Amino acid sequence: MPSSLLDCLILHRKRNPMDLFSEYNKPLKKFESMLKTNNVYFFDSLEFEGIIQYYIDSGKSSLAKKALALGLEQHPMSVSLKLLDAEILIFDDKYPAAIEILDAIQAMEPTNEEVYIQKATIYSKTNAHEKAVAQLKIALDFSEEKADVYALLGMEYLFLYNFNEARENFIACLDDDMEDYSSLYNVVYCFDMENKHVEAIEFLTKYIDKDPYSEVAWHQLGRQHYVLDQFNEALRAFDYAVLVDELFVGAYIEKAKTLEKLGRYSEAIENYKATLELEDATTFALLRIGECFLELKDYDNALQFYKRTVHEDPLLDKGWMALSSIYYQQKDYEKSLYYINKALDIDQINTAYLRRFGEINIKLSFYEEAVKAFELCIELGDNDLDIWMALVDVHYFLGDFELAMQSLKDANEQIPNTAELVYRLACLHFLFDTEENGVYYLKKGLAIDFEYHKIMLEMYPSVFDLHVVQDIVSFYKFSF
């Protein structure tokens, strides 16, 4: 989305500099010849407009200013040149000077729409979007090309997060030109921002009734169904988008994603591969093809495409993670470790990568490394129960019972009233601390989830052989 109304205005009005060069070839040559010889030639105001606009669009602001100065000298009453003067001042962030010129033009030509559009530009650039809207509404009254102003109004309402008004203005643009796909995208964007996906489907369906060969509308309709998990309907829409335009890469991508959701992985692969034939290999498509092969348990092809992914983009950490995961599944932990280290070299604070790093190190009996990884995950704010349990288990396995106990207490503070934590606290207290504390946590655990004690019984049989534990469990059993 453009960052200001000015950007939108530029995008809307900008012409190809070469078109202007062709149109004003002789005046341009004459003007540039004049600059070299210091002779002063006469140009009519229209010629000056073309010369100035050409230099503006070509990014040659100093030449534009020279042409403007000479133009105003020869045609001091030209409103068009004054408007260009104001436009250049706005580009240079000289708003008071621009306003002064625009006020003077407005006094002479109060129905000139460009005056209000330029003022709206200034207000937009200074974040006074309500004032910009007010100016554009005046411009709308005087404009012959109302769709242009509706587009600018739509952008201003987007800046105000008034998606309803923005949508209505972009719809007005579509009423003028059904093939204004920029406005169509903006209408759908407004629906998305308000989570009005059902309404978006209704709008797009009506649009398609008027223009059934709009691949963009079919594509957007598919996206809306996809968001609502209506995957069969989404697939139908994407099929039509591809049917209308066989080169529509975005539709193939969305269709493939939908087929994945439907578990039709072989078909998804074919659609992802279609995008590789239409454009240079994208890492997204390569990675998704690998994922689909993995779902089909075709590990050789999955590996092939994962490796192609990281070959195309060695800085794509997700590709290295995927390679690590597939080797982890195949229990080739050394290769899995090699590839997770590649991912961590790119993103050192990704807790998913750190967790996998810790899990691999446990498999390789590098327990100290695993502890560091899990502790870093927790420091980074990942308080997932599995990470805490992995940390506790490693401490316990290493015989660091105090650290295991402390980790359990820390976890219990972060995730209170969790049966797995409370039961483990009970068992460790019975084993290494006091019976009193063990009883306290055992009763608490039984109250939270009585059935879970059966899992703890398998993990800590010596604790559940204690008479005091058996008595408490029996009491709670009959209580429940």
More confident residue, 207 or 31: 207
* Structure confidence at residue 412 (pLDDT): 92
Domain ranges of the chain: 1-157, 417-480
Query: Residue 394: helix, strand or coil by DSSP?
Result: helix
> Tokens representing 219?
């594509």
pLDDT at 307 over 50: yes
This prediction has a pTM of: 0.79
Model pLDDT, residue 153: 97
Q: What are phi and psi of 180, to 5 degrees?
A: -80, 80
Residue 282 in 3-state DSSP?
Answer: coil
Give the pLDDT of residue 480.
60
33 Cβ neighbours under 8 A, 6+ residues apart: 39
- Asked which of 53-57, 296-300, 370-374, 445-449 is least confident by mean pLDDT, the reply is 53-57
Give the integer Cα–Cα distance in Å for 4 and 2: 6
pLDDT band at 58 (very low <50, low <70, confident <90, very high): confident
Total length of the chain: 480
pLDDT digits 0-9 by tens, 360-391:
999 999 999 999 999 999 999 998 999 999 99
Query: pLDDT tens digits for 133-166?
Result: 999 999 999 998 899 999 999 999 999 999 999 9
Mean pLDDT of 405-410: 94
State how far the Cα of 72 lies from the Cα of 243, in Å rounded to an integer. 55
What number is the average pLDDT over the span 342-358? 97
Residue with the bigger pLDDT between 41 and 471: it is 471
DSSP, collapsed to helix, strand or coil, labels residue 349 as coil
Question: What kind of fold does domain 1-157 have according to CATH?
Answer: 1.25.40
Sign of CA dihedral 219, 223, 228, 229: positive
Average pLDDT over residues 348-363: 96
DSSP 466: S
Residues 164 and 181: their CA atoms lie apart, in Å, by 19
Are 216 and 181 in contact by the 8 Å Cβ rule? The answer is: yes
Task: Report pLDDT digits (tens) over 111-127.
Answer: 999 999 999 999 999 99
Which pLDDT band holds residue 29 (cuts at 50, 70, 90)?
A: confident
Q: Is it the case that residue 297 has pLDDT exceeding 80?
A: yes
* pLDDT digits 0-9 by tens, 329-339: 999 999 999 99
